[in-house]
Each structure stands twice: as C-alpha cells, then as structure tokens.
C-alpha cells in the first residue's frame, strides 16, 4: 500500500469524531495498524481485478470503513511484448535469376500468417513460383505492388513475429541452391504446395532432392517415403523392389441399353468443353509494354540461337500401325486415369534413337571447343500457352515406359494450361520435340534451344492415299516431321540416320519392344 493512501487514512481517522467509550487512546494506534494491514491486502486484491462493491468487514468489527478509498475502481495493467519485425527476403530461385515480377499478393498488411502460408506469387523468365512464409506472425509491410519488379536479396514483406526464443533473425544473405536446405519447403510451385512429414523432408534433403520435383502418391498429393525412393531410383537407374499396387480393374461392360426406338435421339454431349474465345476489342490506339517474364526469356534464347548454323531435314512417317496400337491401349490407359496421346510414343522412340546417336543428346560450350554428352534423356515438349512458348521436359526418358511418359505429360499439360509450370520442369532439357501439328500445319523450321543441338517439329496427322507393298492404293495416316541440327557438330548423314531409325520405330511400333528396358 502506498504512502498517499496511508496518509489519507490517518488524516481521516484523526479528523473523525470518536464517541466516548468506543475505544481508548491506547487502542487507536493498534486499530490504525490493523487497518493499514487490511487495506494493503484489499489493495492487492483490487489490483488483480475491477472491484466496485463494498468490502465485507464483518470479520473485523473494529475496522473503520473509508468509502473514499474502497469504492474506487482499481485496474490491473499488463504489458504484452511484441516480437521483432523481420524482413522476409526474396531468396535465390536458381538458374541465375536476379529479378522476378510480383504477379499476385495472397496477404495484405495486418494479416496473420503461419509458417508455409502463401505470401505471394512471383514470375521469372523461367517459371511462376509461390513464396511461402518462414515465420508465424503479422504482416506489417508489403514492399512491392502487383506487376512490380523485385530483386533477389531484397525484402518482400516485413513480418512481426511472435515473441519466443525460437524466432531467429534471418541473416542478410541471399541463399544459393547449395545453401538453401529448406528451399523445397519455402518456395513451391504455384498451386502445388508440397505435403510431407519431417522424416520424408529429411530424406529428400539428404539426397539433394527438391520436393517440388516429386509426384506424391499419398492422400491429397502427400509425398511418401516410397515416392522419394522411386524418384531417386529414376535418377540413378537403380532397381527397387516392387511396391504394393492396386490391381487395375478393366472398365465395366456397358449396360444393356434400351432399344433406340424407345429412346429419343439426343445429341452427344462433348466430353471436353471448348475454350471460351473473348471478343477482340479495337481501341484504335498504339500501345507499348515492357518485355518481361517468358517473353523476355524467349528474346534471350532466340538471340542466342541465331549464332547456331541450322541444318534442316524433313521426312514423312506412316503412323497407320501406331494409330491402331494407340486405339487398343487407349481404353486401358484411361482405366488407369491417364490420357494416352501419340506424344509418349514419339518421345520414347526419340530416346531409343538417341541411344544410337548420342551426339544429338549433347551440348557444346560457347567457344565450341568441348562437347558434353548427356547421360539423361530429358526430352522437352514445346507448348503454346497463354503466357507464351514454354518447353517443359520429361526427365530420364531412357528409364521410363510409354505409360510413365504419358503420366508426366498429363501432369505438365495440366500445369502449363494454368501457368503453373515450375523451374524444375522448364530447365535441364537435352533434346526437344515441338508438336506444332496440334495447332495445324505440316512442315516447319524449328529453332534449336541452346545449349541443345537438335530439335524436331511434328506436323499434323493426315489421312492420305498411299501405295502398299502390293501396289494397292490404301488409306494411310501420315505425319510430316522437320528436324533442325547444329551443323557445327552434326552432319547431315547423322541427322538423316537418326530420323530413319525414329521413323522405323513409329511405323513398326512392335519393334520398340525389343529395345525397351
């Protein structure tokens, strides 16, 4: 109890008229001391909560009640310490990328975030990446507007972290791929946030595997230990014991339908919705925009390709047998949940051909003094997307079956349609095929993507009359192919022999079985 309250009490007691015989002078000081002790105890109780009622002094009949003191409100004031405000910096995304464009913010100032919550989406000239939070806390500041350019190593946001000894201030350094042990947990491909247990993440980190490159087979896409081991086996060529696999049931036979006479004729419903084409708007004014993102990357790549002397070679392929084979396998593939197109066959046939002509799966240095023969067949597929030309690649085709290639293509086509292809998918290619025929056209002049040395462009499949071995005119499914090769290290005969072998595999798909591994 403070001295001011004691002084008020004493002055009040001394000024109070005490009736004769109520107590003696010798008891006055004792009663004052007892009142001091009691009020000090009551003061402590009042400080812990708001108290406005009258105290109960029935246990102390000789105590003087002073309403000026005990009827007052007492408040207990607590101070909540806030945590430090940490700048969350844009880490190194890799591939020499030094700047990105902020495409979308998922938070605003004042929002509370937890670890691994999405902060924003950024786009480089390679891919779109979703940046996730490292900390639990509150967003205090956003450093960039949408469509602004953010530099690697500069802060994206300020986060007021929750107080605690576990919060460690981020060092003012830019992480490199070799330093970034948690790169696969804090920077993830947009729309595909990795889900894995700490044990699985540790296994991936010990083997230098990015979780964004692994396809999870667990519930809701969760990455399991078996997924890491299978991915590692594909990288090294090791053979793992087979994992339990649910037997794939063939599609049930169609139920006996009522006769067509009893059913009204209805137009078949298309299984795929046609894309909505927006009506063009003519403004009548010129407009200028800055090159950025994938367009900026295309300028850089095509400028480098101008230094390469291109050798062109064209041929046609009779795909009649392949068309029949795909027709037989299409139902089985769809029963497994995978759409089977012709591209997996084209890609696998190219890989089998590259085994015989490894110089087409090579790269040359800028000084054209050294040739590096690539062990992995990372075959790219040129895609036309709303963001521009993208060339993701299927890794280690030499180790994959036709069905496994189809699975990868389904995944990449889904991501490409929504602009969600990541750096892992768009880098590391060693050979490329362009399926320009899916849009139209027969022949093309494909441009090599440095540092690769060869590329092929596939025309549309046409039904044309051809002569068979008995000089009979028959209906044939014909596709034209156009090859381009780096004429500094690849001669025309090598390109022609590779094309002939690739064509033989596709015209006689049963022959591919002999060379499949």
- Work out whether the CA dihedral 422, 237, 401, 334 comes out positive or negative: negative
- Quick check: 70 and 42 in contact, CB under 8 A? yes
DSSP category for residue 493:
H
Please identify which residue in the block is written with the tokens 């964004």: 212
Would you list the DSSP string of 350-406? HHHHHHH-GGGGEEE-TTS--EEE-SS--EEEEEEETTEEE--EETTGGG--HHHHH
Residue 186 bears catalytic tag: no
Query: Could you confirm whether 487 is annotated as catalytic?
Result: yes
Distance CA 501, CA 338 (A): 28
Q: What are phi and psi of 432, to 5 degrees?
A: -135, 145
Tell me the C-alpha distance between 365 and 6, whole Å.
91
Residue given tokens 């008020």 in the structure block: 8
- Cβ atoms of residues 118 and 130 within 8 Å: yes
Output the CA angle 73-78-84, nearest 5 degrees: 155
Kindly tell me the burial class for residue 158, based on how many C-beta atoms sit within 10 Å of its own C-beta (0-12, 13-18, 19 or more): middle
Angle, CA 349 vertex, CA 345 and CA 355 arms, to 5°: 150
Burial 161-173 (b: 16+ CB within 10 A, else e): bbeeeeeeeeeee
Distance CA 90, CA 172 (A): 11
Catalytic one of 60, 295, 310, 487: 487
Distance CA 475, CA 131 (A): 54
Residue 464 backbone dihedrals phi, psi, to 5 degrees: -130, 155
Contact between residue 510 and residue 402 where contact means Cβ atoms under 8 Å apart = no
Q: What distance in Å separates the CA atoms of residue 182 and residue 180, rounded to the nearest whole number? A: 5
Task: Calculate helix-pair angle for 402-417, 343-356, nearest 10 degrees.
Answer: 120
Residue 93: strand, helix, or coil: coil
Residues taking part in catalysis: 487, 491
């Amino acid at each position: 109890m403070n001295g001011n309250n004691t002084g008020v009490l004493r002055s009040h007691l001394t000024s109070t008229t005490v009736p004769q015989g109520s107590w003696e002078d010798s008891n006055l000081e004792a009663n004052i001391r007892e009142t001091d002790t009691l009020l000090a105890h009551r003061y402590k109780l009042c400080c812990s909560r708001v108290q406005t009622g009258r105290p109960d002094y029935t246990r102390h009949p000789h105590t003087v009640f002073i309403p000026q003191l005990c009827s007052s409100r007492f408040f207990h004031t607590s101070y909540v310490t806030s945590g430090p405000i940490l700048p969350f910096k844009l880490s190194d995304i890799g591939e020499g990328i030094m700047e990105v464009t902020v495409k979308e913010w998922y938070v605003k100032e004042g929002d509370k975030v937890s670890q691994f919550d999405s902060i924003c989406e950024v786009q480089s000239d390679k891919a779109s990446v979703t940046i996730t939070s490292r900390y639990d806390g509150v967003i205090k500041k956003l450093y960039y507007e949408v469509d602004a350019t953010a530099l690697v190593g500069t802060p994206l946001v300020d986060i007021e972290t929750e107080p605690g000894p576990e919060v460690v201030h981020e060092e003012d350094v830019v992480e490199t791929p070799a330093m970034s042990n948690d790169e696969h947990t804090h920077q993830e491909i947009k729309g595909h946030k990795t889900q894995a247990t700490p044990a699985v993440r540790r296994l991936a980190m010990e083997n230098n595997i990015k979780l964004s490159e692994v396809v999870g087979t667990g519930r809701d896409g969760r990455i399991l230990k078996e997924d890491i081991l299978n991915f590692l086996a594909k990288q090294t060529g090791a053979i793992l014991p087979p994992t339990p696999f649910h037997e794939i049931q063939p599609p049930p036979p169609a139920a006996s339908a009522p006769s067509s006479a009893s059913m009204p004729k209805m137009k078949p419903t298309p299984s795929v919705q046609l894309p909505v084409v927006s009506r063009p708007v003519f403004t009548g004014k010129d407009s200028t925009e800055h090159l950025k993102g994938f367009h900026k990357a295309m300028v850089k790549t095509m400028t480098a390709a101008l230094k390469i002397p291109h050798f062109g070679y064209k041929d046609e392929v009779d795909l009649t047998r392949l068309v029949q084979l795909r027709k037989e396998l299409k139902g089985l593939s769809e029963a497994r949940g995978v759409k089977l197109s012709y591209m997996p066959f084209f890609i696998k046939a190219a890989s089998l051909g590259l085994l015989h002509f490894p110089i087409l799966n090579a790269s040359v240095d800028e000084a054209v003094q050294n040739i590096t023969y690539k062990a992995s067949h990372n075959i790219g597929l040129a895609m036309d997307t709303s963001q521009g030309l993208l060339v993701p690649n299927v890794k280690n085709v030499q180790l994959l079956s036709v069905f496994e290639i189809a699975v990868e293509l389904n995944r990449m086509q889904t991501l490409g349609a929504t602009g969600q292809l990541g750096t892992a998918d768009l880098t590391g290619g060693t050979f490329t095929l362009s399926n320009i025929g899916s849009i139209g056209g027969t022949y093309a002049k494909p441009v090599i993507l440095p540092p690769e040395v060869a590329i092929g462009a596939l025309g549309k499949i046409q039904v044309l009359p051809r002569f068979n071995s008995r000089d009979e005119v028959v209906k044939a499914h014909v596709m034209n192919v156009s090859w381009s090769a780096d004429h500094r290290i690849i001669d025309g005969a090598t390109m022609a022999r590779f094309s002939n072998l690739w064509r033989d595999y596709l015209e006689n798909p049963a022959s591919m079985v002999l060379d499949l591994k």
